Amino acid sequence: MDIKIIKNPAPSQKPDEESLGFGLTYTDHMFIMDFNKTQGWHDARIVPFGPLALHPAAVVLHYGAEVFEGLKAYRGADGTVRMFRPVDNIRRMNASAERLCLPLLDEKDAMQALEEFVRLEQDFVPHKDGTSLYIRPFMIATEPNLGLHGINEASFIIIASPSGSYYKEGIAPVSIMIETEDVRAVKGGTGYAKCGGNYAASTRAGERAEKLGFSQVLWLDGVERRYIEEVGSMNVMFKISGRIVTPDLIGTVLPGITRRSIIELLRDENYEVEERRISVDEIIEALENGELEEAFGCGTAAVVSPIGKLVFNGREYVINNNEIGSLTGHLYETLTGIQWGRLEDKKGWTYRV
């Protein structure tokens, strides 16, 4: 694929690495390519970062036809820039696109786009410990059409944001509220897809939880409201009597790349990992009888985040004295060790740019 590059004539100052936050500043360029039914994907280009021009009747603005991904580029101690399992993100984006009837990407072309874009923006990959360049590929339906029909025109865009930790707590334990009113997903819906609509519909519960002092909500299943699903921006795992349990992927939960990596790391270390339905009653019982040893969320933005407090129906349960558990800490160190190149990548998960 030929990618045309138009350099930004006014490069910006790099942001202060001490106060990056998450997703607040952007690099100087963005990748764009367009799709229509006659030409397929075409006009791949990297252009100066800036606003997009969209027809006011563009399908994405009315019917939410959008999917996205999130991955990171890390600067190793040796200065090398690496992405983590980027092909998995492209594959998941195609699975999401298929669900929303958006056009699929050619895996090789999408990887080339990611690589050329990150190479051009590599000076934006921050150096400070715990920081990275958060990469956000996304796809939108662009054709003007207020009728509800199939999608004929789309754009695939990549932007990136030098970022620090997702939660203000950093790697410190977060407090999570188990949501009992709103639901996020049902079987047959879009739970497994990474589409903007899932997050839009989650905002109300998230805001209510934040007002009460919680970082995010833990979703229950949409039918019985009884089984644990995932947290707003991360999959969730519990250590109960030495075993790790995590909800299985039945179409309602995002198949996290961090989740998959952690399960593999745990099994390599001979931990028993159970992917299955977990009722909230089981978790509460394990909390009450002291069998719930650790709980954590995992995701690209969230990395490995210890859960220090869980609230259910107004009752607060403290996990592991609201401290980082030893397994949680170990997983954080192992995963970030591979990502930042401090540990040998025996799995071939990192992709040098």
- Enumerate binding residues for ligand PLP (CB under 6 A): 70, 230, 233-235, 254, 256-259, 299-300
21 or 70, CB closer to ligand COI? Answer: 70
Closest separation between CB of residue 206 and ligand PLP, Å?
A: 11
Closest separation between CB of residue 74 and ligand COI, Å?
A: 14
154 or 193, CB closer to ligand PLP? Answer: 193
Closest separation between CB of residue 177 and ligand PLP, Å?
A: 16
Closest separation between CB of residue 152 and ligand COI, Å?
A: 27
165 or 320, CB closer to ligand COI? Answer: 165
Q: How far apart are CA 353 and CA 349, in angstroms?
A: 13
Helical residues (DSSP H) of the chain, grouped into ranges = 59-63, 86-99, 107-120, 196-200, 203-211, 257-268, 280-288, 326-339
254 binds, among ligand PLP, ligand COI, none (CB under 5 to 8 A by kind): ligand PLP
113 or 234, CB closer to ligand PLP? Answer: 234
262 binds, among ligand COI, ligand PLP, none (CB under 5 to 8 A by kind): none
Amino acid at 242: G
Q: How far apart are CA 92 and CA 71, in angstroms?
A: 12
96 binds, among ligand PLP, ligand COI, none (CB under 5 to 8 A by kind): none
Q: Which residues bind ligand COI (CB under 6 A)?
A: 70, 233, 299-301
- Tell me the DSSP string of 271-310: --EEES--BHHHHHHHHHTT-EEEEEEEETTTEEEEEEEE
259 binds, among ligand PLP, ligand COI, none (CB under 5 to 8 A by kind): ligand PLP
185 binds, among ligand PLP, ligand COI, none (CB under 5 to 8 A by kind): none
184: left (phi over 0), alpha (psi -120 to 50) or beta: alpha
16 or 268, CB closer to ligand PLP? Answer: 268
Strand partners, 82: 74, 352
Instruction: Give the closest residue to 66 by CA, choosing from 54, 76, 84.
Output: 54
Q: How far apart are CA 199 and CA 61, in angstroms?
A: 15
- Tell me the DSSP string of 76-99: -TTS-EEEESHHHHHHHHHHHHHH
Closest separation between CB of residue 75 and ligand PLP, Å?
A: 19
Closest separation between CB of residue 194 and ligand PLP, Å?
A: 6
191 or 299, CB closer to ligand COI? Answer: 299
Closest separation between CB of residue 171 and ligand PLP, Å?
A: 16
35 or 166, CB closer to ligand COI? Answer: 166
Q: How far apart are CA 35 and CA 192, in angstroms?
A: 24
**Measured CA distances, 345 to 84, 348, 350 (Å):** 11, 6, 7
256 binds, among ligand PLP, ligand COI, none (CB under 5 to 8 A by kind): ligand PLP
CA 259 to chain CA centroid, nearest Å: 11
341 binds, among ligand PLP, ligand COI, none (CB under 5 to 8 A by kind): none
Cα pseudo-dihedral 29, 77, 73, 90, rounded to 10:
140
